[in-house]
Amino acid sequence: MKRIEIFANRSVQDEIIGGLEDSIDDFYYTLIPVVNGRGKSQYRLGTATWPEENFMIISYVTDENADKALAVIGEVKKIFPGEGIKLFIMNSN
């Protein structure tokens, strides 16, 4: 069992969720719709100065489905290389 966390710009939210739901049967997740912070490239604070915002998805999946999530995120990153899409995969008990 793995815990996956995905952080990305809100502009690609539909592509990511759609890809995960299409690739993983019964994909259950928690969506945190507004995540503010700073990555390597810039701030994303939802303000007039730094208007962009991220979202976050948390899901617990099988090892096989973690590999599927990795593939989905890889494909979305190819289409949107500048959106700072990050996937973290952790072991879970």
Q: Is the whole-model pTM more than 0.85? A: yes
Mean pLDDT, residues 12-26: 97
HEC-encoded secondary structure of 3-41:
EEEEEEEHHHHHHHHHHHHHHCCCCCCEEEEEECEECCC
pLDDT of 4 reads 98
pLDDT, tens digit, for every residue of 32-61? 998 877 777 676 666 666 667 889 999 999
pLDDT of 53 reads 84
pLDDT of 66 reads 98
pLDDT of 43 reads 63
